[in-house]
Amino acid sequence: MKLTHNRAVFLMVAVTLLWSTAGVVTRHLEFARSFEVTFWRAFFTVLSLMVILPFAKGRDVFYKIRHADAGFWISGICWSIMFTAFMVALTLTSVGNVLVTMSIGPLVTALIARVFIGYKVPPRTWLAILVAGAGIVYMYASQLGSVSLLGTLVALCVPLAGATNWTVTQHSHDKGHDVDLMPAVWVGAVISSVATLPFAFPFQASTHDVVLLGFLGVFQLAVPCVLAVRCAQILKAPELSLLQLLEVVFGILLAWLGANEVPSSSVLWGGALVIGALVTNEVIGWRQRA
C-alpha cells in the first residue's frame, strides 16, 4: 500500500497510541521489576524484528549490519539507552512525570545540534526552551519529597539519547552516509537486552508478566518503531514532532483510566506549559516555512 501524506498522519497517530501503552501495561505487572522489565521487553523486540526486518529491508539486512559505519553503531547505542532508560524510569516514578520529561526531546535536540553541528536555533525555539524549562521546574518543584529524583534523572536520559541520535544521523546524512534506522532499532534492542540481562537475575516475572512484556516488545516497541521510521520518510520533522506529543496525552490518559494513576495538578499544569511551548514553536516554524 502506497503511504500517502494523510495515511502517514493516521499511521503516526496509531504509532503514538501503541507507544503510550507502556505505562499502563507496566502497572499491571505482578512480580517483574526494573531491569527484568527492560530485559524482557528488549528480548521480545529483538525476536520480533528478526522476523520483520527481512520483509521490510531484504533478507541481507543482517549481513549489511556487519559492514555499517560508526554513525549506525552510535545510533544503535542511543536506541539502547532510550529503551532501557524509559522502562527503568517507569518503575521509579509516575507515567505522567516520565512522559512530560521525555516530551522536551525536540528542544534538547535543537540545543545539542546547535553545539555539535552548528544548527541555527531560531529565537522562537529559545523562547520555547525557556517556557518548557519553566514547566519542568514547576512540575518537579511542586512535588519535592513525593517524586523520585532518580526516576526523573533516568527519564532525562531518553530525550538526551534521542537528541544525540538525531544529531548523529543528521551529520551522517550531511556527509552522504544515511543511517538505516530500522536495523539500528534492532541493534539497540540487542544491546539493551544483553546489558540488562545480568541485572535481571534472579528472574521473578510470572507467566502473566512475560505475556504483558512480550506484548510491549512486539506491539509497543518493535512494530511502532518500524512504522515511525516509515512515516518519517513522508512527514516533515515539525509534523512528526507535533504528532509524537500525542504519546504524552495518550499515555497519561491510559494510565489514568487503566491503572487509576491520577496525574497531579502540577503534572497537568507543568505538562501543559511544556506541550504548549512545543506546539507553538512547531506551528510558527511550520507557517514561516510555508
* pLDDT score for 6: 83
Q: pLDDT band for position 147 (50/70/90)?
A: low
Amino acid of residue 160 = L
In percent, how much of the chain has pLDDT > 90? 43
What's the structural domain count of the chain?
Answer: 1
Min mean pLDDT across 2-11, 246-255, 281-290 is at 281-290
Residues 185-198 pLDDT 10s = 999 999 999 999 99
C-alpha–C-alpha distance, residues 82 and 107, integer Å: 16
* pLDDT score for 146: 62
On the question of pLDDT at 286 being above 80, the answer is: no
What is the DSSP track for 137-149?
A: HHHHHTTTTTS-H
SS (H, E, C) 215-263: HHHHHHHHHHHHHHHHHHCCCCHHHHHHHHCHHHHHHHHHHHHHHCCCC
In percent, how much of the chain has pLDDT > 70? 97
Q: pLDDT band for position 220 (50/70/90)?
A: very high
On the question of pLDDT at 1 being above 70, the answer is: no
Cα–Cα nearest to 85, from 167, 169, 168, 150? 150
User: Of 89 and 233, which is predicted with more confidence?
Assistant: 89
C-alpha–C-alpha distance, residues 142 and 140, integer Å: 5
* pLDDT score for 193: 96
Which segments of the chain does DSSP mark as H helices, in order? 5-19, 21-26, 34-57, 61-65, 70-92, 95-102, 105-117, 123-141, 149-174, 181-200, 207-215, 223-232, 237-244, 246-259, 265-289
39, 196 contact by CB (below 8 A): yes
Nearest-Å Rg of the Cα atoms of the chain is 18
Residues 78-115 pLDDT 10s = 999 999 999 999 998 888 889 888 888 888 888 888 88
152, 101 contact by CB (below 8 A): yes
Question: Which of 220-245 are b and which e, b meaning 16 or more Cβ less than 10 Å from the residue's Cβ?
Answer: bbbbbbbbbbbbeebbeebbbbbbbb
Residues 26-69 pLDDT 10s = 999 999 988 999 999 999 999 999 999 999 888 899 988 988 88
* pLDDT score for 290: 66
**Full residue range of the structural domain in which residue 161 is found:** 5-289
* pLDDT score for 115: 86
Question: What is the pTM (predicted TM-score) of this model?
Answer: 0.88
* pLDDT score for 107: 83
- How long, in residues, is the chain? 290
C-alpha–C-alpha distance, residues 156 and 149, integer Å: 11
Tell me the range of 4-13, 171-180, 218-227, 277-286 where mean pLDDT is highest. Answer: 218-227
Which residues lie closer than 8 Å to 128 by C-beta, 6 or more apart? 107, 277, 278, 280, 281
User: Of 133 and 48, which is predicted with more confidence?
Assistant: 48
241, 166 contact by CB (below 8 A): no
Backbone φ and ψ of 205, nearest 5°: -65, 135
